């Protein structure tokens, strides 16, 4: 599929005709990544929302479509100008709609914002990432929300690289949990902007509550005048420094109720049920048919593989060494192999 990486569509105050009758029709009407600008009550102030950086994470897009319809009907006016940036349109348009994280011949654009040296063979995606960054910088926003879905089912949470009053206030507009991450993977969230940026994982892409979470958060984000002094804010639980459990290259993976011996690692098909819950010590989460500590990568902030501090390989079973908490555990084999199996922390700070 030929892609023009230099092109962004631009819409200003889209009409009901332009928005079409459904998010799916609206998606198919777009010929490229799209910037939508909406005028607010304070026209010198801007906020930004990005969505569909991953084509299979539709909650932000679906919620924004509904919000834009209410704006077009005159039912809503944001407190500030709002810039909406719709990212991986081409991937989202692949059939079935919202099924492809990124194109088969492409790369994950949310790994392209800070990894220029690694992308010489896919420099178009890096160029698009820089255009998204520029579109944000151009309006000097006071806050940025990047809307996503989790790889598996689970409740919503926010992610940031820092912890301060503004970040917690932004998180509280969408959910009650904030993860502070030190992991650098080239994501939009890792960049410095004029205002604070957070990622919001609205829940699983097939979870109806995820769309509702996104819409409620968008309405909160656009209707409050001063985010840091929102009288309706609520306490946010803070979780520090999760790690990503990944598999070494050329490791095979499968999911099943029991060990089918169809891959080097077979994880429980019910893995997603652990998302956001405590997974207790000695819990068995999978089986190994190729015994090797080097199969697993759990790299800490110092570059050390700390897999053995979290898990053990005992009698061909993958077992938790201590009480853990999982995030974004998925049974999507492609995502698990190309990104990570899940995020994990030992301790929770409230």
**Mean pLDDT across the stretch 46-66?**
98
Tokens standing for 4? 């023009």
Tokens standing for 294? 């080097």
| The pLDDT of residue 123 is above 60 | yes
Cβ neighbours around 259 below 10 Å, total? 17
Q: How many residues does the chain have?
A: 350
Proportion of the chain above pLDDT 70, given as a percent: 95
pLDDT tens, 180-230?
A: 998 889 999 999 999 999 999 999 998 889 999 999 999 999 999 999 887
**Mean pLDDT across the stretch 151-168?**
91
Cβ neighbours around 245 below 10 Å, total? 21
Output the pLDDT for position 193: 97
What mean pLDDT is reported for the chain?
92
| The pLDDT of residue 53 is above 50 | yes
| The pLDDT of residue 233 is above 90 | no
The model's confidence at residue 350, banded by pLDDT at 50, 70 and 90, is very low
Output the pLDDT for position 347: 61
**Mean pLDDT across the stretch 120-143?**
90
Q: Is 15 or 234 the better-scoring residue by pLDDT?
A: 15
> In sequence order, which residues have a C-beta less than 8 Å from that of residue 78 and are 6 or more positions away?
38, 40, 41, 47, 71, 222, 223
| The pLDDT of residue 246 is above 70 | yes
- Letter string b/e over residues 93-132, b meaning 16 or more CB atoms within 10 A of that residue's CB: bbeeebebbbbeebbbbbbbbbbeeebeebebbbebbebb
Helices (H), the chain: 16-19, 23-29, 59-72, 89-92, 123-137, 165-172, 208-223, 307-310, 333-338
Q: Which residues are registered as beta bridge partners of 201?
A: 148, 157
The model's confidence at residue 120, banded by pLDDT at 50, 70 and 90, is low
The model's confidence at residue 310, banded by pLDDT at 50, 70 and 90, is very high
pTM of the model: 0.88
Pairing between strand 177-180 and 157-160? Answer: parallel
d(CA 220, CA 230): 10
Cα R_g (the chain), whole angstroms = 20
Just give the CATH number of 9-240: 3.40.630.10
| The pLDDT of residue 283 is above 70 | yes
Output the pLDDT for position 153: 82
**Mean pLDDT across the stretch 322-329?**
92
| The pLDDT of residue 234 is above 80 | no
Output the pLDDT for position 349: 42
**What are the residue boundaries of the structural domains of the chain, listed by start?**
9-240, 243-345
Output the pLDDT for position 301: 85
d(CA 132, CA 240): 28
d(CA 76, CA 88): 27
Output the pLDDT for position 1: 58
């Amino acid at each position: 599929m030929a892609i023009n990486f230099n092109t962004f569509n631009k819409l200003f105050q889209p009409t009901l005709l332009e928005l079409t009758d459904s998010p799916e029709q609206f998606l198919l009407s777009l010929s490229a990544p799209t910037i939508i600008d909406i005028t607010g009550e304070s026209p010198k102030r801007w906020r930004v929302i990005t969505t569909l950086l991953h084509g299979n994470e539709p909650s932000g897009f679906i919620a924004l479509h509904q919000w834009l319809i209410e704006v077009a009907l005159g039912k809503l006016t944001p407190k500030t100008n709002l810039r909406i940036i719709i990212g991986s349109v081409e991937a989202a348009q692949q059939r079935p709609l919202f099924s492809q994280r990124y194109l088969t011949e492409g790369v994950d654009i949310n790994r392209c914002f800070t990894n220029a040296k690694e992308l010489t063979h896919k420099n178009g995606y890096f160029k698009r990432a820089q255009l998204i960054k520029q579109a944000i910088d151009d309006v000097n926003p006071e806050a940025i929300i990047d809307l996503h879905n989790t790889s598996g089912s689970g409740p919503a949470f926010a992610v940031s690289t820092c912890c301060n009053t503004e970040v917690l206030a932004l998180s509280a507009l969408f959910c009650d949990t904030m993860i502070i991450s030190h992991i650098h993977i080239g994501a939009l969230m890792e960049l410095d902007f004029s205002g604070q940026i957070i990622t919001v994982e609205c829940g699983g892409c097939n979870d109806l509550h995820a769309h509702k979470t996104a819409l409620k958060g968008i309405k909160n984000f656009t209707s409050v005048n001063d985010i840091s002094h929102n009288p309706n804010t609520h306490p946010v639980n803070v979780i520090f420094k999760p790690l990503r459990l990944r598999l070494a290259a050329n490791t095979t993976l499968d999911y099943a109720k029991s060990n089918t011996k169809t891959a080097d690692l077979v994880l429980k098909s019910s893995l997603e049920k652990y998302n956001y819950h405590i997974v207790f010590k000695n819990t068995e989460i999978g089986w190994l048919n190729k015994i090797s500590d080097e199969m697993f990568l759990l790299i800490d902030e110092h570059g050390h593989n700390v897999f053995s501090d979290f898990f053990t390989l005992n009698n061909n079973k993958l077992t938790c060494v201590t009480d853990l908490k999982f995030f974004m555990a998925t049974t999507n084999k492609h995502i698990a192999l190309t990104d990570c199996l899940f995020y994990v922390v030992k301790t929770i700070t409230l």
